[in-house]
Amino acid sequence: MPTYDLLLTNVRVVRHDRPEPEMLDVGVTDGRIARIAPRIEPGTAARVVDGGGRLAFPGVVDAHQHWGIYNPLSEDAVSESRASAQGGVTTALNYMRTGQYYLNRGGRYEEFFPEVLAATEGRSYIDYAFHLAPMMRGHIDEIPELVRKHGVTSFKIFMFYGSHGLHGRSADQNSFLMIPEGERYDYAHFEFVMRGIQAARERFPELAEDISLSLHCETAEIMSAYTRQVEQEGTLRGLEAYHASRPPHSEGLAVSIASYLAHETGLPKINLLHLSSYKAVDAALRMAQAFPHIDFRREVTIGHLLADIDTAYGLGGKVNPPLRPREDVEALWEYLLDGKIDWVVSDHACCRDEVKFGEPRNDIFVAKSGFGGAEYLLPGLVTEGSRRGLSYQRVAELTSWNPARRFGLHRKGAIVEGYDADLCLVDPDVTWTVHAEDSESTQEYTPFEGFELTAKVTDTFVRGEHVLVDGKLAGEPHGRYLARPQR
């Protein structure tokens, strides 16, 4: 009988704790990495894949996706997991909530979340988990059971939802959120969410290190005022107008409020999501100095690192927080290269053309927010990072090791014996042009259309299953729901 189910030979293994890639072979048994060595005898394996000297990165742990926000969840689980595999993503952590979009219903998670799990079971090509958002008072009471029964250890607050719409100004937020009459989604609710999460950490001390809260930091009052001003003045158009309507200091103010609430409630595990500007990261770093007892993590997206309001392809680049001017993109890169950013994500939210664009088509304020991009996450970061001196080791930290550790995925995020055999092969010497038609996503456009990348994912393995072979999806979906913390 062969020793290994799969033997990956002739690859340059990239690891988060080694400064340079090493030419090694990787043996896989029962979905886990069984041995890593300079040369493993091919006759010991049932199947051998020659990596051709390509880079072997740990599979990307994309800590920020949105399956099912604009399309049926059961459909997104198939198509968007396929697109994810194209970008070397082997695990997707999806944000999910009650209210409009997603399943388009309110109510308790004890009824809602099993529907989520049923809609995705057996359909994904990659492994996946969910962050959940406590939208109403009753959800806070459910946090301990979500942790205990379903292995949900990460939660989210959308700070602007209480009085500003998902796509722009809105005067009817309670019906959008589908919360009970008389309840408010406001700073007081955020405080009580934090207290509820901290109570769960104290109830389950053995799980406390893996339980955290993520926040989308924008300030509704600032955005509503600036949106009204931009629309009334009427001089700005497109992505520039949307950037001006949700100004960077709105992010900075929200970061500050969130941080003080964490201090007040004693919640020490805070993730600041998709920071898009110099002011947002500056505020985050100031708060880390003000509250050193809080373990802050700072996230940016590949979209905010690659595109700006002038280079993105059309209004398809509308997203929250907005794409910014080039000076903010450069500031994000400076922070990332200086070690101030903890992980890079896609914020993948597939939004098809007929849903994305409103009437008139060129009105940024009637377009929907969000776009896909998981298929460009690793290629884009390697491409632009290489130009700026970002090491492969640091790429592995930013895309795999750091998010896996934070979110309780203790067998993910590294090419290490005993870990899940999640890997992707990258050719760092191929130049190609992004075209939406080449993606497995059902989204027909991309804000990265025409971008030239100089690294490409050729193969992706999920627990040893070869799901992307020479750039093409293969086989049936084998992805699993991950209850956390993973042991």
* Closest to 480 measured CA to CA, from 63, 212, 117, 59: 117
**Which residue's entry shows tokens 């099912």?**
68
DSSP letter at 339? T
Measured CA to CA in angstroms, residue 195 lies from 133, 179, 268 at distances of: 14, 20, 11
DSSP letter at 59? P
How far is Cα 108 from Cα 188, in angstroms, rounded to an integer? Answer: 20
* Closest to 43 measured CA to CA, from 57, 27, 58, 32: 27
Residue ranges of alpha helices (H) inside 234-277 are 238-245, 248-265
Please, are residues 456 and 378 in contact by the beta-carbon 8 Å criterion? no
User: Count of alpha carbons within 13 Å of 1, Cβ hemisphere only?
Assistant: 3
* Closest to 122 measured CA to CA, from 85, 77, 153: 77
How far is Cα 372 from Cα 441, in angstroms, rounded to an integer? Answer: 8
Measured CA to CA in angstroms, residue 104 lies from 99, 216, 263, 370 at distances of: 5, 21, 34, 18
Please, are residues 64 and 95 in contact by the beta-carbon 8 Å criterion? yes
Encoding tokens for residue 164? 């500003």
How far is Cα 338 from Cα 45, in angstroms, rounded to an integer? Answer: 42
3-state secondary structure at position 467 = strand
Number of H helices, E strands in the chain: 15, 19
Measured CA to CA in angstroms, residue 437 lies from 151, 440, 448 at distances of: 37, 8, 12
How far is Cα 203 from Cα 206, in angstroms, rounded to an integer? Answer: 9
DSSP letter at 107? S
Give the active site residues.
Answer: 347
Question: From the CA atom positions of the chain, what is the Rg in Å?
Answer: 22
Length of the chain in residues, anyone?
487
Diameter of the chain measured on Cα atoms: 74
Task: Answer positive or negative: Cα dihedral of 133, 136, 137, 141.
Answer: negative
Measured CA to CA in angstroms, residue 121 lies from 129, 394, 415, 422 at distances of: 11, 33, 26, 19
